[in-house]
Structure 1
Amino acid sequence: MARWKTYRFHLGSPLAGFSVRMALPVLSWSWFQLRISTLLLLVLLASVIIGWQRDRNDLSDQIIDLEVELAQVRGMKSSWSIEQLYGPPDTLAFGDYGTAWASASADGQDEWVIAQFENEVSPAELQIYETYNPGAVYKVSVFTPIGNEVTVWQGPDPTPQGSGGGVSKIPLETIWRTKKVKVYLASKKVRGWNEIDAIGLVDQSGDVQWTRHAEASSSYGAQYSRGVFISRSFF
C-alpha cells in the first residue's frame, strides 16, 4: 500500500523566491511485489490459454487429415456437396453443374464457407471461382494461428450479379499468417443457388494453394457419381 511523504520545492535564490510543499505517494516494496506477482500470474494464464488453443488446433488438423484420407479412399464426391470445393477448379462452364458446391436452399438463408489449406502462409489474395449466380460474396475473414477469426475484407463482390460467373480476386491485407479462411455470402440478396467451384489462397510470392478441406453452413449434396455434369432445373 502507498504511503505519503511531504516534499519542499524552492524556486528562486536563497534570499528571494518562494517555496512549495507537496505531498507525493511513496510506493512500498510490498506494493511493488504484489503488482509483479499479479503480472506474472497473468502471463502464466495467457500462456496456458495459448497452449491449450494450439493443442486444440493441432487436434483439429489431425482430424482434417483423417477426413481427407477417407475421402480419397472413397474416391467419390456428391454433386453440389462441400467436397466439390476441394482442389483446383474443374467446372468447365458457367451454369448449374454438380461439380461446384451449392447451398441446401437457393435463397433460404445467408451462407458461409470455411476453406482450409495445406500450409500456413502470409496471404495476399483469395480467389473464389463462382460458376453460377455470382455476386453474393460480401465478407472474408481469416483465422489466426491460435484460432481467432479476423475480418480482413468487406465490400461488393468483384464478380457482379448477372455476369454468369467469374473469379473474384479479393485482397487479404493482414499481419496474420493463416491457412484457414471464411467466405460469407448474402445468398438471400442474389437469387438462385450461388455456386462456388474452387477457392485458392495466394501467398506473398504469388503461389496458389487450393482447398484441401472445407465446411459450409449448408450443402445441397445430392448423391451422384464423381465427375458427372448434372444440370438441375430450379424453376
Structure 2
Amino acid sequence: MRNGLLALVVAVAVAIVALQLFFDEAPGEVAAIETRVADSEPDVTDEEVALLQPPHRPVAESERVEVTPELAKQLAFERMTKLELEGWIVELEADLASLRGELDAQAALAAFREVWNATDWSAAKVVGPPDADPSHDDPRAWASASPDTGLEWLELRFKPPMRAHTLRVYEVHSAGAVVRVTAIDEQGGNHILWSGVDPTPAPGVFEIAFGLTSYRIQSVKITLDTTLHPGWNEVDAVELVGPEGRAWVYSASASSHFGQTGRRSRFLPPK
C-alpha cells in the first residue's frame, strides 16, 4: 500500500516538472493555443439555424398580384433613383432656359427694329434702355405733340409681368413734370404707386421707391403735367426693378407725340 502511494506521488511530481518545462520552453505555442480557443466558434447545425428564422407563410392565390403593363411602368418609374430624377430635371430646366433665351432674343431684336424705324419723338422711343442725350431735345426720346399744354400720359408695358419695388423714369431736356404713376396688374386693376411733385433736376432720373407689390405689374401709366416746366418734357426710358431683376419697356402708347397727324401715338411690337 505504501509502495503504491509512493509511486503515485512520484508520477505526479514528474508530471508537474514536465508541465513546467513545457511552459518555460514553448510560450509561443501556448499563446497560439489560447488564441485559437478564444477565436473558435461553436458549430451550429442547420436545424438550429432554421429555428432562429421566422416561419415562412406561403402566398395564397387570392393575394397574388397581376403585373399589368401599367403597373410595370409605375414600378419602373418608382425604381428610378433620386439622382436620376434630379439629373433629368436639371436637363429639362436647361432646355427651357435655352428656349426662353432664344425667344427673348428674337423679341428684343424685333422690338429694336421697330424702335429704330419708329417715328421720332413717338412712344416707341421709350422702349428699351436709355439712348438719348438727356441734356438736349432728342428725337430718340418721347415728346408730346405740343409743350405746356396740360396733362399728357404714357402707358408702358413690361414683359413678363413682375413684382416690383422701384421705378426709374429717365427724363430728358426739361424734367420735373411727372405728377402720378399708376401700376396696372395682370387682371387690369389699377394701383397708384406715387403722386406728388417730381423733384427731378433737368436732366435726370426720377427714382420712385415703393413697397414690394403683392401683384405682378403688367404695365405702368405715367401722367405728366406739361405746364409745370416750360419746354419739352421728354422721356427716354422707364425701368422697373424687383426681386426677379429689372425690366425695360416692351411696348408703349401715349396721349400724343410731336409731329403726329392725330392725337394718339401707339407702338406695339409684332407678335
- Tell me the TM-score normalized by structure 1: 0.60
Q: Deviations over 1:203-225 (max 9, x none)?
A: 135x22111101111111469xx
Residue 218 of structure 1 aligns with which residue?
Answer: 256
2:166 matches 1:128: no
2:182 matches 1:141: yes
Q: Deviations over 1:150-169 (max 9, x none)?
A: 2121122130xxx3210100
Q: Deviations over 1:23-49 (max 9, x none)?
A: xxxxxxxxxxxxxxxxxxxxxxxxxxx
Distance 1:189 1:212, change over 3 A: same
> What is the rounded CA distance, in whole Å, between the counterparts of 2:161 and 2:222 in structure 1?
18
- Match for 1:166 among 204, 211, 224? 204
Mapped contact 2:152–2:255 kept (Cα < 8 A): yes
Q: Gapped runs of 5+ residues in structure 1?
A: 1-64, 224-235
SS of the equivalent of 2:113 reads helix
Alignment of 1:83-232 (within 5 A): 83-159=124-200, 163-173=201-211, 174-205=213-244, 207-221=245-259
Q: Which is bigger in relative contact order (C-alpha 8 A, separation at least 6)? A: 1
Q: Deviations over 1:53-73 (max 9, x none)?
A: xxxxxxxxxxxx99x958736
Question: Based on CA coordinates, which of the two structures has the bigger radius of gyration?
Answer: 2
> What is the rounded CA distance, in whole Å, between the counterparts of 2:130 and 2:187 in structure 1?
30
> What is the rounded CA distance, in whole Å, between the counterparts of 2:221 and 2:258 in structure 1?
19
* Partner AA of 1:112 in structure 2: W
Q: Gapped runs of 5+ residues in structure 2?
A: 1-105, 262-271
Give the ranges of 4+ consecutive aligned residues of structure 1 lying more than 4 Å apart after TM superposition.
68-71
Distance 1:153 1:70, change over 3 A: closer
Mapped contact 2:162–2:217 kept (Cα < 8 A): yes
Mapped contact 2:156–2:252 kept (Cα < 8 A): yes
* Partner AA of 1:209 in structure 2: A
Per-residue deviation, 1:172: 3.3
> What is the rounded CA distance, in whole Å, between the counterparts of 2:195 and 2:114 in structure 1?
38
Distance 1:110 1:212, change over 3 A: same
- Tell me the TM-score normalized by structure 2: 0.52
> What is the rounded CA distance, in whole Å, between the counterparts of 2:115 and 2:195 in structure 1?
37
Alignment of 1:5-20 (within 5 A): none
Alignment of 1:40-79 (within 5 A): 69=110, 72=113, 75-79=116-120
Structure with greater helix percent: 2
Per-residue deviation, 1:199: 0.5
Mapped contact 1:158–1:170 kept (Cα < 8 A): no
> What is the rounded CA distance, in whole Å, between the counterparts of 1:134 and 1:193 in structure 2?
9
Structure with greater strand percent: 1
Q: CA RMSD in A?
A: 2.5
Distance 1:104 1:73, change over 3 A: closer
